[in-house]
Amino acid sequence: MNERDVIDRVRRMAGNPAARNLDDDAALLDGWVITHDTIAEGVHYLPDDPPETVGWKLAAVNASDLAGKGAAPHAALLSLAMRGNGQWEAAFLDGLEQALVEFDMTLIGGDTIALPHDAPRVLGLTALGRAGPATPARGGGKSGETLWLVGTVGDAAAGLALLMDDTNSSGPLVEAYRRPRPLVSAGRALAPNVNAMMDVSDGVLLDAQRMARASGLKAEIDLSALPLSDAFHEARGDGLNTRLFAATGGDDYALLASGGEELLGIPLPGGTRLAAIGRLVEGKGLSLSYQGAEVPVPERLGYEHRGT
């Protein structure tokens, strides 16, 4: 029984309709959208990542789940399994607090425990958001609908690559990796007008495949249409491999939605990009094209966190 089997076993325990069969990133309970993400040292972040950014990202990853459901972040409970003298935790909490303020959430509870000195830290956040007039599921996409990408992809992966070359790197790509900004306002604006929505966190190809599977459909993605930032182009140019890098790098904090052309008329926060990147069709799986020609689907579609 590996991680996948354990997840399937957990899924079978979830009988309540609020759980949405755990197919979604969040549950819907009485007007609250509720999500939980757990991260571990050495698995989801590196021991020498600045702790402020780990705190920021723990809040961001949860706020992004809420954004994908069109919910307004409201409250959070922190699970902090600490270790050592607490210096790392103090900086982690600084970053977490900044992000909670930024995303309009207050800490209402949680638990702090102390781990043995050689154990990796494990950090979890339960986030509650107020549901909007609609809470789109991941699996509501309809055949023939356009797949829309909100935001850009690849920036964080490009930022991480810069940091791997030089830990002193800075600039917008590094910022996208270190201090991602979930698209909460865009998510809330779009949610009532889409049939399916989710945040893109592990790579747009992987997440598009997940949406297609949950909707019982196939996703066709046009890599040429992927919205990339100027900073991304500047750092990595363009071309098929560059676009595959952007589409599979992960850590994106974008949104993926399935809906009609009326989405183009919805006012979004200034600077938010909305791009038609493909569509859902009858069938299964994923197909890719680039500049009008079909291209093979890469083996690795995104970032799936795994321990060893």
Residues 278-307 that bind its own copies (CB under 8 A): 305-307
Min dist. Cβ of residue 210 to its own copies (A): 15
Q: How far is the CB of 92 from its own copies (least distance, A)?
A: 9
> Which residue, 87 or 168, is less far from its own copies as judged by CB?
87
Which window, 83-91, 201-209, 275-283, 287-295, contacts its own copies (CB under 8 A)? Answer: 83-91
Q: What is the 3-state secondary structure (H, E, C) of 63-96?
A: HHHHHHCCCEEEEEEEEEEECCCCHHHHHHHHHH
**What's the min distance (Å) between Cβ of 19 and its own copies?**
4
Shortest distance, position 177 Cβ to its own copies, whole Å: 20
Q: Which of 5, 48, 165, 282 binds its own copies (CB under 8 A)?
A: 5
Q: Please give the single-letter amino acid code of residue 8.
A: D
197 is an interface residue for its own copies by CB under 8 A: no
36 touches its own copies (CB under 8 A)? yes
Cβ neighbours, 10 Å, residue 174 = 22
Q: Is 13 in the site for its own copies (CB under 8 A)?
A: yes
Q: Does the footprint of its own copies cover residue 93 (CB under 8 A)?
A: yes
Closest residue by Cα to residue 35 from 107, 126, 103, 108? 126
Q: Which amino acid is at 244?
A: L
Long-range CB contacts (within 8 A, 24+) of 86-89: 88/51, 88/121, 89/51
User: Which amino acid, one-letter code, is at 232?
Assistant: F
40-69 binders of its own copies (CB under 8 A): 40, 42-44
Q: Which is nearer to its own copies, 74 or 181 (CB)?
A: 74
> C-alpha distances in angstroms, 62 versus 112, 169, 268?
19, 26, 21
Single out the residue of 49, 50, 82, 272 in contact with its own copies (rule: CB under 8 A). 82
Q: Hey, which residues between 220 and 239 contact its own copies (CB under 8 A)?
A: none
Instruction: Tell which positions 94-153 bind its own copies, by CB under 8 A.
Output: 96-97, 100, 106-117, 119-120, 122, 124, 126, 128
State the minimum distance, in angstroms, from the CB of residue 187 to its own copies: 18
Torsion sign (Cα): 27, 148, 223, 294: positive
Closer CB to its own copies, 282 or 306, in the complex? 306
* Residue 271: DSSP 8-state: T
Report if residue 264 touches its own copies, rule: CB under 8 A: no
Residue 87 CB, nearest approach to its own copies (Å): 6
Separation between Cα atoms, residue 63 and residue 307, nearest integer Å: 24
CA distance 36 to 123: 11
